């Protein structure tokens, strides 16, 4: 396996009312070629800010990257000029959002928008770009693609618009697709179709994918590995099977306690009592301590690091309970 993307110590800071908070507080993970990495956690945990930081799309927000690196095939995206970054965006890296209406231009025909993007990124002629636009619409299963290409976004259903967004993202054959809650706004049937489609495209195009979701059903269906975020930090990393069968971090345990089997249909992350901590007023030690059923003295004063779980280098958790030494050390709750 080859590493496609490596995020190291990523920090993103937001200025609010004169003070600054870390929405992403030193995040580490990697994505291999042809792999789907799930990024899960409750809303406000920093998932979306992480993805916007990778894409360097923070400029419409009060946020800025304040540390770390994002290495894409060995090149650090954080250090790139905006001009260079523009060449990567939409070309090597593409992103789809939850609500396609906000990313499609309402006054431009679908085909026109696809063509512009294709001409910009693949340097095709207008004629060749139009054919490629129609082919891209067909690829994502849009019926009568040669007619839809001349429609305006409002003429399509939500599911069709999301397909257009995927077509647009896929039309330049990106090596990495970042999908932020790509199916949340859609009804269950359409959602299943879109996920099937993304799965198929991933396999056919050997693309890496960062899938951001709070839906564990989507994680189970789509992901190879999973990174769990809490309060701007990674708290657990595991393969999808291990995550569901043997979660390590108490937060992850809480998330999946209502999902007894991998492919069963119970799935929102609302089951853990308490709230995500206020970024301006973070607990001193472990950020999950106020909600953790296993909290110990030590947790209140010292924050654990994200470290391999005993005897397994691939498995990581940010919890005193799962870290080597603790169980041997004999400290008890």
- Give, for 226, the enclosing helix (H) or strand (E): strand 225-230
Cβ burial, residue 308 (10 Å; 0-12/13-18/19+) = middle
Pairing of strands 93-96, 176-180: parallel
State the binding partner of 48 from ligand SF4, Mg ion, none, CB within 5 to 8 A by kind.
Answer: Mg ion
State the binding partner of 299 from Mg ion, ligand SF4, none, CB within 5 to 8 A by kind.
Answer: ligand SF4
**Between 167 and 319, CB nearer to ligand SF4:** 319
Binding mask 210-249 for ligand SF4 (x = CB under 6 A): ----------------------------------------
> What does the alpha-carbon distance between residue 88 and residue 226 come to, in Å, rounded to a whole number?
25
Residue 169 makes contact with ligand SF4 by CB under 6 A: no
Of the residues 185, 296, 307, 310, which one makes contact with ligand SF4 according to CB under 6 A: 296
CB of 254 to ligand SF4, least distance (A): 10
> What does the alpha-carbon distance between residue 280 and residue 260 come to, in Å, rounded to a whole number?
35
Residue 304 makes contact with ligand SF4 by CB under 6 A: yes
CA atoms within 13 A on the CB side of 210: 29
Closest CA relative to residue 284, chosen from 268, 273, 295, 272: 295
Residues 22-51 that bind Mg ion (CB under 5 A): 48
Secondary structure percentages of the chain, helix, strand, coil, to 5 = 40, 25, 40
Binding mask 164-203 for Mg ion (x = CB under 5 A): ----------------------------------------
Measured over the CA atoms of residue 275, residue 278, residue 282 and residue 287, the dihedral's sign is positive
Of the residues 250, 254, 259, 267, which one makes contact with ligand SF4 according to CB under 6 A: 250
**Region of 290 on the Ramachandran plot (φ > 0 left; ψ -120 to 50 alpha; else beta):** alpha
State the binding partner of 110 from Mg ion, ligand SF4, none, CB within 5 to 8 A by kind.
Answer: none
Residue 320 makes contact with ligand SF4 by CB under 6 A: yes
Residue 331 makes contact with ligand SF4 by CB under 6 A: no
Of the residues 227, 231, 292, 306, which one makes contact with ligand SF4 according to CB under 6 A: 292
> What does the alpha-carbon distance between residue 252 and residue 286 come to, in Å, rounded to a whole number?
14
Contact yes or no for 145/100 (Cβ under 8 A): no
**Between 105 and 301, CB nearer to ligand SF4:** 301
State the binding partner of 227 from ligand SF4, Mg ion, none, CB within 5 to 8 A by kind.
Answer: none
Contact yes or no for 178/93 (Cβ under 8 A): yes
**In the complex, which residues of this chain contact ligand SF4 (CB under 6 A)?**
250, 286, 288-289, 292, 294-296, 299, 304, 319-321
**In the complex, which residues of this chain contact Mg ion (CB under 5 A)?**
48
């Amino acid at each position: 396996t080859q590493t496609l993307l490596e995020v190291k110590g990523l920090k993103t800071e937001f200025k609010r009312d004169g003070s600054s908070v870390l929405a992403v507080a030193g995040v580490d993970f990697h994505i291999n070629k042809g792999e789907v990495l799930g990024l899960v956690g409750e809303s406000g945990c920093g998932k979306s800010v992480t993805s916007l930081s990778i894409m360097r799309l923070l400029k419409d927000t009060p946020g800025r990257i304040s540390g770390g690196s994002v290495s894409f095939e060995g090149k650090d995206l954080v250090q790139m000029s905006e001009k260079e970054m523009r060449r990567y965006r939409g070309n090597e890296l593409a992103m789809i959002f939850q609500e396609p209406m906000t990313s499609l231009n309402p006054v431009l025909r679908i085909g026109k928008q696809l063509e512009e993007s294709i001409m910009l990124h693949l340097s095709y002629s207008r004629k060749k770009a139009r054919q490629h636009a129609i082919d891209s619409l067909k690829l994502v299963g849009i019926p009568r693609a040669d007619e839809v290409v001349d429609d305006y976004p409002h003429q399509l259903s939500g599911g069709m618009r999301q397909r257009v967004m995927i077509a647009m993202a896929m039309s330049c054959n990106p090596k990495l697709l970042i999908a932020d809650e790509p199916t949340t706004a859609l009804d269950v049937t359409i959602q299943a179709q879109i996920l099937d489609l993304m799965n198929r495209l991933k396999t056919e195009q050997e693309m890496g994918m960062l899938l951001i979701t709070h839906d564990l059903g989507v994680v189970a269906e789509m992901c190879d590995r999973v990174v769990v975020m809490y309060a701007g930090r990674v708290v657990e990393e595991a393969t999808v099977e291990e995550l569901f069968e043997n979660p390590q971090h108490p937060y992850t345990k809480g998330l999946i306690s209502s999902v007894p089997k991998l492919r069963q249909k119970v799935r929102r992350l609302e089951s853990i009592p308490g709230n995500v901590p206020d970024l301006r007023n973070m607990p001193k030690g472990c950020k999950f301590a106020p909600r953790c059923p296993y909290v110990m003295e030590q947790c209140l004063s010292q924050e654990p690091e994200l470290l391999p779980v005993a005897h397994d280098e691939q498995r990581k958790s940010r919890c005193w309970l799962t870290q080597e030494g603790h169980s041997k050390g004999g400290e008890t709750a």
